[in-house]
Amino acid sequence: MAFIWAIDYYTHDIVWWMLTSTENSTAYMSLFRRLKSSNYSLKALVCDEHSSILTTVNFVFSDAQVQICTTHYLRNLRYKLNLKNSVDSYFFRDVKSLLTAKSMKIFNSRARMLVANYARYGYLLILIADLQNKETYLTTHTRHPKCPSTTNLIECYNKHLDVRLRKIDGFKSYASAELWLNAYVWLKRTSVLKCCKGKFKRLNGHMPLSFTAKDSLSRIYKLN
């Protein structure tokens, strides 16, 4: 089974979730359509590099832009390289620098240097081509200043859920799993936030659901 949930970055609220037999295009299409039907305004989506997400989101939210999590991308890249090799190690360092660029001007400058320094290595040229093919998905955060470049928020939620699930010796049925997850999600949505830092410090003392339930989210979406 696959548990899919969508978390709003600025309110930390779980705006939708679903338990499905498998993580595929049908499941994500259902998720995005549900969000659309609830009048959720999706401007940018930060996710891992799952083909089912990339191929379905714009069918429902045509104007939404996608940001592939740079942490996930670098993790996958690490598996393809031998970091004990100095060339691979330097290449990985430079790609990491590329993906932390704060503007397209800086990104393009670093990309040109990457090509100039490593294009002569055939196996690295393939990886450079992959970066070029996914450039739009890897630079959304430079065009949307309030869009993060990683899925750190939802990964944090995943860890919390994982800790709880470790204490449970499985579920008797699909229905019992769904019932437990429903209760868990509502507990998260109605629990007062206490540990938010930085620009999210103002969320402390509030339930995530209390923001979503309001008619207007203009105040919370003006976070710097």
Question: What is the tens place of the pLDDT at every residue in 74-104?
Answer: 999 999 999 999 999 999 999 999 999 999 9
| pLDDT score recorded for residue 215 | 54
| 214 band by pLDDT with thresholds 50, 70 and 90 | low
**31-79 pLDDT, tens digit each:** 999 999 888 889 999 999 888 998 899 999 999 999 999 999 999 999 9
The domain locations on the chain are 2-68+150-222, 70-143
| pLDDT score recorded for residue 220 | 46
Nearest CA to 149 among 66, 51, 60?
Answer: 66
CATH number of 2-68+150-222: 3.30.420.10
Nearest-10 Cα torsion for 174, 180, 182, 186: -170
Cβ distance 17 to 44 under 8 Å? no
| 29 band by pLDDT with thresholds 50, 70 and 90 | very high
197-201: average pLDDT: 90
Rounded Cα distance between 141 and 167, Å, is: 37
Extract the tokens encoding 180: 């437990």
Residue in the structure block whose two tokens are 């990683």: 150
Q: Which three-class secondary structure string do you get for 140-206? A: HHHHCCCCCCCCHHHHHHHHHHHHHHHCCCCCCCHHHHHHHHHHHHHHHHHCCCCCCCHHHHHHCCC
Q: What is the pTM assigned to this prediction? A: 0.86
Position 181, amino acid: L
Cβ distance 12 to 205 under 8 Å? no
